[in-house]
Amino acid sequence: MSFKRIKAILMHEFFITKHSYEVINDIGIYPLWSIIVFGYLTIYLAGVTGSVIAHYVLVGMILWQIINITQYSIAVGVLWDVWSRNLTNIFISPISYTEYLLSYTISGAIKAFIVIVLGSFLSLLIFKFNILSLGIVNLTLYFLNLAFFAFSFGIIILGLVFRFGTKIQAFAWGLITFFQPLMAVIYPVSILPKPLQTLAYLFPPTYVFEATRASLSDPKIQWSYSVIAFFLNIVFCIFAIAFFNFMFKKSKEVGQFAKLEG
């Protein structure tokens, strides 16, 4: 593991983000805008249902950005180099794919952290909701679990992109939203139909969002939810790494990796 190579990819990510309005929009403006929209929905719902339930929506939307931004950073990060025909140049350097994935995870987590801080500040300023009311330890556990899940999800998408090329590139920014309803981001799992509830509890973020809702009523540390989410994350991560390894190996065997750049 080389710190210098990880630093190289972090710099690469920073330079691309700095020069790309699309990236700034996708991981900055759009998430903050969503938080604002859902914040106003919260104000409306607070009048109808009471503030705790209304805050489910706002806090769910703020924390959802951790998954959204981190997985986007991992999965879309590689596409910038595919589109620029630069991916070969990176992979013929001595970088290992562990270093590569770790770099994108760090980069995604940093971006997610910045957006969460900004989103939290906006929600305090506009909607008078202080996310710190969930408790610092809780927030840290939620952040780590959600970022962990996003890493696993991101590398599954990355494996698919390496194996099947840009024809499935829309998965990089779109597939996560397909699973969003199952993770009970802004509503309790209990409102889902029974079969979907079982499915929902297979995803680590479901426990995090349930814990978040519990924290809104009682800010004590939600260890049980966080520990279950963490263990599920480990299982999910092992599967994701094995899947990525298989796809990466297969991609190089069938020549797809070299054809990624067209």
Structure tokens at 246: 């298989």
As measured in angstroms, the least distance from the Cβ of 96 to another protein is 7
CA angle 21, 26, 27 (to 5 degrees): 105
Q: Which of residues 59-88 bind another protein (CB under 8 A)?
A: 80-81, 84-86, 88
Q: Which residues contact 25 (CB under 8 A, 6 or more apart)?
A: none
As measured in angstroms, the least distance from the Cβ of 252 to another protein is 5
Binding mask 220-259 for another protein (x = CB under 8 A): -----------------------------x--xxxx-xx-
Binding residue (CB under 8 A) for another protein from 19, 47, 167, 218: 19
Q: Which residues contact 3 (CB under 8 A, 6 or more apart)?
A: none
Torsion of CA 29, 115, 174, 151, to 10 degrees: 160
Structure tokens at 220: 């004590």
Work out whether 4 is an interface residue with another protein (CB under 8 A). Answer: yes
Alpha helices in 165-189 (DSSP H): 171-179
CA distance 91 to 69: 24
Binding residue (CB under 8 A) for another protein from 37, 40, 52, 89: 89
Binding residue (CB under 8 A) for another protein from 33, 37, 44, 96: 96
Per CB under 8 A, residues contacting another protein are: 2, 4-5, 7-9, 11-12, 15-16, 19-20, 80-81, 84-86, 88-96, 249, 252-255, 257-258, 261
